Amino acid sequence: MRMLSLRQITVLASAGLLLGFNLSAKAADLGSVPATPPISAAPPQRYELRMHHLHTGEDIDIVYRIGDTYIPEALDRLNHFLRDHRTQDVSSYDPKEFDLLHTLMTSLGRPRGVIDIVCGYRTPWSNNFLRTRSALTGVAEHSQHMLGKAIDIRVPGVSTVTLRNAALALHAGGVGFYPVSQFVHVDVGPVRAWSYR
């Protein structure tokens, strides 16, 4: 009968391969083999947004969701940040809009990049004001901005064409392309797309 060295027994024991072996007293007296540490679950994903508001000059860098849980205080801060800058009215944004922005920035390879906000929430008054300034504004009468479901954005260092294409690839809502004004509209309403002038 072949004798195993202490090292071979340790290797086989740790691999669970000693079943059916008749160990000598010396070999059986190995002491405890260190257990494999338990595999810990990965920490839940943190969803973060970094934004700069072009009209108010304000900046925000915030974790608004951890795993599947939205952080109410963070959502309140985002709602205030995206307020109607003309009237100072605050809306309650659909959190899926923030998820859309987070996913969009990740798809662009810029998860920590800054998003420039051209327009966030609009009251009905502001929406009508913009619509009636000129026949060429492109502002919808029943805009998703009034529902807290749309944001007009730019991403420094990313062309509006690239930004539009990345948003379209997500199939997550409406995407409007405004090449003259140099911004992209993204919303979590019905999936659709348009270009304006």
Q: What is the structure's pLDDT at 137? A: 66
Q: What is the CATH number of the domain that holds 172?
A: 3.30.1380
- Measured at the alpha carbon of residue 155, what is the angle toward residues 178 and 99, in degrees to the nearest 5? 95
Domain that holds residue 191: 46-195
| Structure tokens belonging to residue 157 | 């260092």
Cα 195 from chain centroid (whole Å): 25
- Shared-domain flag, residues 26 and 94: no
| Structure tokens belonging to residue 112 | 């920590």
Average pLDDT of the segment spanning 162-173: 97
Let me know if residue 18 belongs to a domain: yes
- Shared-domain flag, residues 12 and 90: no
Let me know if residue 156 belongs to a domain: yes
Strand ranges inside the chain, DSSP E: 46-53, 59-66, 69-70, 114-119, 150-154, 174-178, 183-187, 192-195
Is the pLDDT confidence value at 68 over 80?
yes
- Shared-domain flag, residues 80 and 7: no
Q: Let me know: does 171 contact 187? Beta carbons within 8 Å.
A: no
- Which pLDDT band, with edges at 50, 70 and 90, does 136 fall under? low
| Structure tokens belonging to residue 154 | 């730019």
Let me know if residue 141 belongs to a domain: yes
Let me know if residue 184 belongs to a domain: yes
- Shared-domain flag, residues 110 and 16: no
Q: Which residue type does 180 have?
A: V
**Residue 108 three-state SS:** coil
Tell me the average pLDDT of the chain: 85
- Shared-domain flag, residues 91 and 174: yes
**Residue 164 three-state SS:** helix
**Residue 79 three-state SS:** helix
What total of structural domains would you count in the chain?
A: 2
pTM, 2 dp: 0.76
4-33: pLDDT as tens digits: 455 554 444 444 444 444 444 444 444 555
Between helices 160-170 and 95-107, what is the axis angle to 10°?
Answer: 120
Burial (0-12, 13-18, 19+ Cβ within 10 Å), 51: buried
- Shared-domain flag, residues 52 and 24: no
Let me know if residue 40 belongs to a domain: no
- Which pLDDT band, with edges at 50, 70 and 90, does 131 fall under? confident
Q: Which of 60-64, 98-102, 179-183 has the lowest average pLDDT?
A: 179-183
Neighbouring CB atoms inside 10 A of 126's CB total 20
